[in-house]
Chains A and B, each alone.
Chain A
């Protein structure tokens, strides 16, 4: 089965997660991100999760996104599970060395998380603690492979045995919109070789560049070896897209800016939803795209409108908690 490409370790008889089950079934998948929260009250996470229950298939618990501290992604993931959402737990390499990565991956699995996604992470210089010491002990490829060692070899990186290995599905991210463009599909392939089984991409605004990236990734065989979710940002204001344009690694097309600026501010969210829906419809037709990963800033309502307008509701229910062998 596709879930076990590094041959051998265990024969997979069941999907590793609800997300995995949907991937295997070939259905068009929708994932999103939990709005970050900054409080000690668990109710805040529950409130952030509530609008997404049953509307998307899995939701990222982000790891200090944009290099700003927020509630721990492990705690958020656990609270999401309690709220009825399947989390995808992010692991960045900025705030954790190889010891902390492993203990937290194990902890995430023990708390019931069945999907993780590994990434480098924004640099501390992009956040509100630029004076911090970033770690970058290992990179995202190493984190993927470490997760794979724990799951498939049943040991820590050191070789020391785990008493019960995690069974999670392992994902990575890729940005088709940052140089060197020619290397990006090969880098995707490299992430798959390092252990990634699914991919979430950076936000697609430049559909043509995405098409070229997907074409070359499909030619390399990536789409047969991993499920690729295209990232889509749902803009809610012209200000937001103009801000996004300044973020390194995000390419916002002039057309999107023009469309957002052409309407008065009270109708900009409607226009943003239309833009996101347009992009999603093109992505749906693109060979190799297994689904979409919707992002927004404080825009759950806008995300839900996109899911609805795409005709992707209702989402398949999470039945029994999926257990992998």
Chain B
């Protein structure tokens, strides 16, 4: 897998200890190898056809930008396939979560960079969102 550009911000969360550290190391060793995962700590891989959106040089969480080249490659890294072209193709092959490509994903909480998304899922930390976002999300759902 082409690993040509890494724009992730520095980790600001303190390093975990004990079992939390073990969980982080297992997740990191698996996902970095398989998905070129960038450890954003709020994983949405299943919503994006198993193509990690944090590999996108523009950090897009909701689909491709308008600069995708005609051959399907990235505007910024011309020899890399657009992660959102991969996401679209991948999502069509998944048995589940296909419709997730059409959902509006939340903005990234950059404080979670470098933490375990598995832990954040278990503690529901990754469900947190700013109050304004939650308000409009519930309004959109209701309508």
Contact = CB atoms under 8 A, between A and B. Distances in A.
Interface of A: 5-8, 93-94, 98, 119-120, 122-123, 125-126, 134, 136-142, 145-146, 148-150, 152-153, 155-159, 173-175, 178-180, 182-183, 186-187, 189-190, 193-194, 202, 248-249, 251
B133 A120 contact: no
B87 to A, nearest CB: 9
Contacts of B68: 175, 178-180, 248-249
10 closest cross-chain pairs (CB), A and B: A159-B131, A175-B66, A141-B62, A178-B68, A180-B88, A248-B75, A136-B59, A149-B132, A248-B67, A249-B67
A183 B63 contact: yes
A139 B60 contact: yes
B12 to A, nearest CB: 14
A179 B85 contact: yes
A156 B66 contact: no
5 contacts: A139-B107, A149-B133, A173-B66, A179-B85, A186-B102
B104 A152 contact: no
A63 B60 CA distance: 19
Contacts of A157: 107, 130, 132-133
Interface in B2-20: 7
Contact of A249 (B59, B66, B85): B66
B63 A148 contact: no
A123 B75 contact: yes
B101 interface: yes
B26 interface: no
A251 B58 contact: no
Interface residues of B, number: 44
Nearest to A153: B135
Interface in B43-65: 57-65
A156 B130 CA distance: 9
Nearest to A156: B132
A126 B75 contact: yes
Interface in B101-141: 101-108, 110, 130-136, 139-140
A5 B52 CA distance: 32
A193 B57 CA distance: 24
Interface string B61-92: 11111111111100110000010110011000
Contact of B132 (A122, A155, A187): A155
B143 interface: yes
A139 B58 contact: yes
A139 B59 contact: yes
B131 A249 contact: no
A301 B87 CA distance: 43
Given A7-B143, A179-B70, 11 more contacts: A7-B139, A94-B58, A122-B75, A134-B7, A141-B104, A145-B136, A158-B131, A158-B132, A178-B66, A178-B68, A248-B68
B69 A248 contact: yes
A120 B66 contact: yes
A158 B88 CA distance: 31
A271 to B, nearest CB: 24
A53 B140 CA distance: 38
A72 B131 CA distance: 30
Most chain B CB neighbours (cut-off 10 Å) among A142, A178, A189 = A178
B101 A186 contact: yes
Nearest to B81: A179
B59 A123 contact: no
Contacts of B102: 186, 189-190
B66 A180 contact: no
Contact of B58 (A98, A134, A145, A186): A134
Contacts of B65: 120, 140, 249
